[in-house]
Amino acid sequence: MSEISSSELVIGGLYEHYKGMRYRVHGVVLHSETLEELVHYEALYENPQGKMWVRPKKMFLENVKVFGTSRPRFRFIGS
């Protein structure tokens, strides 16, 4: 079984998405079939689609290009 690693994440940390919305990371979980690591996080704003989300850890931690500039998809902003 794969070991869950959260070394790149701050569990309980506050993160800002590159589009400006804020989220709280609750932990790293495993996909039941593939054992892929997923970040479990919560939207800290009213979102009619839901409050709790998961995203592949690799995608959560990756950089995205915004107007030609590379920046983190989610930026840690505090605990």
The DSSP symbol for 3 reads P
More confident residue, 17 or 3: 17
CB atoms within 10 A of CB 5: 10
| 32 found inside a domain | yes
| 18 found inside a domain | yes
Which CATH number covers residue 66? 2.30.30.320
Whole-number average pLDDT of the chain: 92
Number of domains the chain is built from: 1
AA letter at 29: V
| 49 found inside a domain | yes
Per-residue pLDDT at 2 = 41
Per-residue pLDDT at 4 = 47
- How many Å apart are CA 10 and CA 27, to the nearest integer? 8
Structural domain span for residue 42 = 14-78
Is 9 within 8 Å of 72 (Cβ atoms)?
no
Per residue in 38-51, pLDDT (tens digit) is 999 999 999 999 99
Is 61 within 8 Å of 73 (Cβ atoms)?
yes
Per-residue pLDDT at 1 = 38
